[in-house]
Amino acid sequence: MKTAIYPGSFDPVTMGHLNIIRRAASIFDRLIVCVMVNSEKHPMFTAQERVDLVRRSAKDLANVTVESSSALLADFARSRGSCVIVKGLRAMSDFEKEFQMAQINNKLYPDLDTMFLTADNRYMYLSSSVVKEMGRYEADLSDFVPDEIMQDVLDRIHLINTKQEG
């Protein structure tokens, strides 16, 4: 059974993430979406909340599980018996960073390969940061965030806006 890991911060999960999840799930027997803790980011949702948001967004995909980890990605993959990391690419700038990370992960775990999936052209520009910024200005997010989690995202953005105003 081929198991792949799709890591990210998913703060929040977007339609672009969900597109990569669906495509990777159709390629591998099992896909583990791993909500990673990134010390450089200040997430809007806790790790457990992000796990829940991804689970709800991908609930129709029977071979997808969602976990969180603060471990090195290579160590997480080894512990789950995976030899493939799936990374979504939007632009050339993504490739440079992700290529470097793929080389580091392979050095740490030589059996680990990285597979790059290019973003669907509908989502080439989309990121969680863009979603949060548009939400702060009360833009319509219906094309960018899965319906299953839309209210959670809107409520959290509203809470953050209220705190910043107060």
CA distance 147 to 151: 8
pLDDT at position 74 over 90: yes
**pLDDT in the model for residue 163:** 80
Instruction: Check residue 56 and give its pLDDT.
Output: 98
Q: Where are the alpha helices (DSSP H) in 31-91?
A: 47-57, 73-79
Catalytic positions, please? 17, 41, 90, 128
* Nearest to 35, CA basis, from 63, 60, 62, 67: 67
Give the per-residue pLDDT at 166. Answer: 65
Q: Residue 113 belongs to what H/E stretch?
A: strand 113-118
Mean pLDDT of 9-16: 96
CB 106 within 8 A of CB 113: yes
Q: What is the pLDDT of residues 29-44, one digit of tens each?
A: 999 999 998 777 789 9
**pLDDT digit string (tens) for 152-161?**
999 999 998 8
Average pLDDT value for the chain: 94
List of residues 6+ apart from 100 with CB closer than 8 A: none
